[in-house]
Each structure stands twice: as C-alpha cells, then as structure tokens.
Amino acid sequence: MDFRTKIDIPQSGLQISHKSRRLMFGSCFIENIGQLLIDNKFKANLNPFGVLYNPQSISQALQLLINEQPFSADDIFEYRGLYHSFFHHSSFSHSDEGKCLEQINHRRKQASNDLRQADILFITFGTAYVFRNKESKKVVGNCHKLPANYFDRYRLNIEDIVEDWSSLLKQLKEINPSLQVVFTVSPIRHLKDGAHDNQLSKSVLLLAIDELCKSDQSLHYFPSYEIVLDELRDYRFYNEDMVHPNSVAVRYIW
C-alpha cells in the first residue's frame, strides 16, 4: 500500500547536462534550485535582477536584456538613504548611486550575453498579483517598502500573461532560435494575499503556462508546485513559517 500520491513526470526529451548553459529567473524558489545547480558545478546565471515574483516583472526584465539598453541615473531613485530600481530586488540597492548603477549594469550586460547563448531558460512564477506604480504606470518588480498608496495592486488574468509572454517568447526565439524554456510555479504560498486569493493566483499562473506550452514544443512545464502540495503533503516539509518549503523538500524536487 502506497500512503502518498506520486506525481507523474512525463519524459520531456529535454536534456540537461553540465555542458548546458542556463539562465534562471523568478521567485526565491528558483534561488534554491539555482543555487543547487551552481553548487553542483552546472553553468547558471541566477536571477540577474534579483528575486522577481510575477510574470510581468520577469517579462520586463527579459525585455531589457533583449534590448541591451544600459540603466542610467533616470532609472533609479533614492528613498531613505538608499538608491533603488523598480526593476530589481532590494539586493541591488545601495547607499552610493554610482555603485548601485554599476552592479545593475554589470549583471545586465552579463545576462544579456548569456541570454543569447543559453540552452535553457528556467522561469518560476510565484504570484499573479502585481503592484503598478501610479506615477509611471509600470508594474514594479519590488516596492522597496514605499508607502502602499504609491501603487495600485491587482491580479493579472490569464489572457494578460499569455499575450505578454507569447510576444516575448517570439523575440527570444529571434535572438536565440535553439532556446528551450522550462516553466514552473513556485510552491511557496503567498498567504499575505489570503488563502483563497493565493489559490486563485496560482490557478491563473498554471492555466497561463498551460496555454503557452500548447503553442510550442520548446516550452516545458515541471510540476514543482504539484510535488510539494500533493506528493509532499505535510508540514514537516516546510520551514518554521509554514510557507516556504524546507531544504528536504527542495532537495527532493532537485
């Protein structure tokens, strides 16, 4: 008798080896898997914009890499003694404007080159909820603890994501025709959205990815979300916050 549900993972035909070059974008879940790849001597450029959670912010970041346009002082702002970019995680923030731009542009240039040579692009979506800056009308990758009234918060719908990413994937194929893309949905629960809204958010992401993968054989889905929620259905596979998968769960998915 088997006391758990085993998730079936069909053979994809996608080959991953130490020779493969990969670029990885997404939530803190991709950070965990990406770091394991790096620790095991795989070639990986991990989150060149820092942790990003929603499909639109990841899409914007990749568009910037395609365009190869350097960031300037107009693209960053100062708040409470630190310079920030709305496109980047706070790990890029710095008290010195020049150093902030230097590290942003260094990672951008490196990632732009890697994108054109990558064999595999790994993407992990964490949430369908976004924050749009009221002044610029742009979705931000990170709010950097600015007042909530600076932003509008809403949930992307399936059509928004599919339309945005269909256009992006076409551009990616133009600069790297042999690129393979692996999508995952982060098993980390965004309970600040509320339990029900978190489920709705994850459902939007899953359905959007499913629509995208139907359109091209070079697009793949790996069921990390299903593995944690169904195969590892127990809080012993979570950290103390009961939200993030622990190292045992991460290594199981690995």
Task: State pLDDT tens for residues 200-227.
Answer: 999 999 999 999 999 899 999 999 999 9
Distance CA 52, CA 12 (A): 26
pLDDT band at 56 (very low <50, low <70, confident <90, very high): very high
Distance CA 67, CA 111 (A): 12
Encoding tokens for residue 27?
């939530």
Measured over all CA atoms, what is the biggest interatomic distance in the chain, rounded to whole angstroms?
63
Tally helices (H) and strands (E) across the chain. 7, 10
113: left (phi over 0), alpha (psi -120 to 50) or beta: alpha
Question: How does pLDDT run across 70-111, given as a tens digit for each residue?
Answer: 999 999 999 999 999 999 999 999 999 999 999 999 999 999
Residue 23 bridge partners (DSSP)? 45, 121
Encoding tokens for residue 175?
């600069």
Encoding tokens for residue 167?
């256009």
